[in-house]
Chain A
Amino acid sequence: MDVIAFYVFGAIAIAASLGVIGQRNPMHSVMLLIASFGALAGLYVILDAPFTAVTQIIIYAGAIMVLFLFVVMLLNVPREEPAPRSLAGTLGGGGIKAAALLSVAMGIELVYAVYSLEHVSFSPGHSGSVSSVANIGQALFTKHAFAFEVTSVLILVAMIGAVILAQKEHH
């Protein structure tokens, strides 16, 4: 049962991610990425992490992707323009091919490295302690309390930075 769910969600995640980088229309890319995040939330549920699955949906698919959608609609650039001839000449179609080759090589290398590890199964005993939201909250506000507080400063700085960067310049 778990294995079937894993294959289904994994296939959706990979297909949607390939769609994201294959689309010329940024609006479709954002929609496909939301589908990919939904599939990842399903994988988190398989991994006994319901809290992370819900956060994934609310923060990623709900907040961050809506921000992207806003910008795509605000800027109104429906399609990626094809590369100008001169630039394609200097950068070369070879550069693009080399980049594609490099990323495929990295993917194969990662998969090979993981496959050559010995296959490990999850121990079933842990599932309760990992999935408990109470445990997560306790660790977050005791062991990781400092990092949690620093995060609030980070968010404040990002907010001020975004407001200043996006405001119109007054000459």
Chain B
Amino acid sequence: MVPLNYFLVLSGVLFAIGTAGVFLRRNLITVLLSIEIMLNAVNLTFVAVGRYLGTVDGQIIVFFVMTVAAAEAAVGLALVISLFRHRETLSPDAFTALKW
């Protein structure tokens, strides 16, 4: 059986990749995709620790995270569509109207 630490390390690496994506990409869709990577990294931790503790609670939290991710994707993509209608671009640098 694979030790718990392996899954936690993999999850940490995936989370860091997602963070790098949010910081480095200049495309709103790719930024949303990077957020999905981070959510999945955390899901992996929940399932692994739930398996370690022998409860189903980890998997149930993952179920809720997936629902929230679906809601987030729907609202986020609707925002992306309406932003694209205004500026014809997806670069986050183009939307600075609220910047002080």
Contact = CB atoms under 8 A, between A and B. Distances in A.
Contacts of B7: 6, 43, 47
A162 B5 CA distance: 39
Main secondary structure on A side of the interface with B: helix
Interface in B51-71: 51-57, 59-60, 62-64, 66-71
B24 interface: yes
B81 A119 contact: no
A35 to B, nearest CB: 12
B93 A87 contact: yes
A117 B80 contact: no
Interface in B36-84: 36-37, 40, 43-44, 47-48, 50-57, 59-60, 62-64, 66-75, 77-82, 84
Interface residues of B, number: 72
B67 A10 contact: no
Interface string B10-48: 101111111111011111011011101100100110011
Interface of B: 1-10, 12-21, 23-27, 29-30, 32-34, 36-37, 40, 43-44, 47-48, 50-57, 59-60, 62-64, 66-75, 77-82, 84-85, 89-91, 93
Interface of A: 2-3, 6, 10, 13-14, 17-18, 20-21, 23, 26, 29-30, 33, 36-37, 40, 43-44, 46-49, 51-52, 55-56, 59-60, 63-64, 67-68, 71-72, 74-75, 77, 80-81, 83-84, 87, 91, 96, 99-100, 102-104, 106-107, 110-111, 113-115, 117, 119-127, 129-130, 132, 135-136, 139-140, 144, 147, 151, 154-155, 157-159, 161-163, 165-166, 168
29 contacts: A3-B2, A10-B6, A21-B37, A26-B27, A40-B44, A44-B44, A47-B7, A60-B40, A71-B80, A77-B27, A77-B90, A80-B25, A80-B90, A84-B93, A102-B23, A103-B16, A103-B20, A107-B19, A110-B16, A111-B9, A111-B13, A115-B9, A123-B54, A125-B54, A136-B59, A139-B56, A162-B78, A165-B81, A166-B78
